[in-house]
Every structure is written in structure tokens, then in C-alpha cells.
Amino acid sequence: MLQAERLLLQEALRDPLNQRFILLSDSCIPLYNFRYIYDYVMFCQKSFVDSFKDAHDVRYNHKMAPAIWKEKWRKGSQWFVLIRKHAVAVVKDSTVFPVFQRYCKRIALPEFAASANNNWNSNCIPDEHYLQTLLAMRNLEKEIEPRGVTYSQWKSAHQHTMDRRGWHPITFDAAKTTLEAIKGIQLHGANVVALMAKRFRATCLLGNSLEVLALASLSKHLNMRNEFCPTDYHPVYTVQDNFTCQ
């Protein structure tokens, strides 16, 4: 998966005009119109990468040192918005990625530690650690907003599966894709704006659900115009009033 992401970035970097690089899944939907999302990510000169130190982490392999030190090990969501400088850093990385390839595999996840037979192939979930750790190792953390812009609603899965037991994002179907639900996602944090949301089934893009998404985006657009810029609307102003990029 990491190699696929690196290849995608490499291809996107071939166009010198590309300045922002957004990783999405096939189940993501935009919560706003293109202009709003474009102005939001272009206004901030930092990358949006969910990144933090997990005090209870058990996935780090000490054999990764000195290429990756324990104090630089980070965790977060794989969905990102990168500025060009950071996308280049990922593509040119020849030290951290090989270490992930060598050591970030065949490790039983903590939730299976008590299982009678846990010798099946697993990994340390590299997509939740690689980018965050790479940026930390390159001392680039001051150049990121340590949060993502893709919303997921999580639930606990108590049943044992061969993939993973634990927390899984809820999948929205057409019935759950209501105007109230979309507005709730848009307002889920006072100063944290989600531009995208996942997981949504393909049926959500048909019929009434598509109309709901359009109405939610229009409602947000009009509310911000009245509240922040009553004369000449410009989305950049609404971005400034809705998040801090330091």
C-alpha cells in the first residue's frame, strides 16, 4: 500500500503546476463544492497530516533504529493533504521506507495477542505510521497541521475476524445520507473542518442522496457568505474564520 501511495505521488509530481496532493479512498465524498475545498487547502501553506505520539504504542520495532528512532515514531490516519515539498520528500525517501519494508510486517496486532493461534501473517499497519514518522524523522513536523480533513465515524467491532478486530469506520448507505447527517459531519468540530467524509456507498451518489449533498454544500456556502462576507463573497475569508494555520 505504501508503495502504491508513493507511485501515485510520483506520477502527480510530474506536473510542475500541482501544488497540493490529496489522498482519498473510493468511498470518500466531498462535503463542500470544489471552490471551497480548493481555497481551503491552498490558503494554508502547510500539509494536513493526522499525526501524534501514541503513549500506548506496541507496534514500534526496536530493530528499526537508528533509521527510525522510537521518539520519532508517530501514528495517524493515512488520508492526507500534502504540499509539494512534502510529496517530494515521500517520493525521494530512501531510508525510512526500506526500514518499513523490512521490519513493519509479520507482527501480530495487539488485539490478537491473547488468541490461541496468532502466528498468521500480519503487519504493524504501516499506512498509519509511515508518512507521520517520515515527516518527524525529517524534522518537518512544524510544517504540518497535525490533523486530517477526512471525516470517519468509528464503531467497535467485537467479533473476531481474520483481518482485524477492533474499531472500524461506519459505512453510510443512502438511507443514512440525510441533510441532517451531512450537516452534523460539517459541524463535528468547532475549529476542525472536515472537507471529505468516508465511508459512503456508491448508492449515496444517486437520487435523493446526491441532492442532499448539494443542499448541504449550498447551505454552508450561503451561511458563510451572510456571516463573514456580506458583500463580496470570497471563500478564503471563510477559511480564515474557520481554522487556524500557524
Q: Per the confidence metrics, is the pTM higher than 0.95?
A: no
How many separate domains does the chain show? 1
pLDDT at 152: 78
Res. 75: pLDDT tops 70: yes
pLDDT at 70: 94
- Tell me 41's DSSP state: H
Res. 142: pLDDT tops 80: yes
* Domain extent for 156: 2-242
Confidence of residue 24 (pLDDT cuts 50, 70, 90): confident
Helix segments in 76-120, DSSP class H: 84-92, 96-103
Region 72-77: what's the mean pLDDT? 95
Res. 161: pLDDT tops 50: no
Which has more confidence, 159 or 178?
A: 178
Give residue-wise pLDDT tens across range 171-223: 777 777 777 777 777 766 555 678 888 777 766 655 555 555 555 555 454 44
Region 79-83: what's the mean pLDDT? 95
> How high is the mean pLDDT of the chain?
75
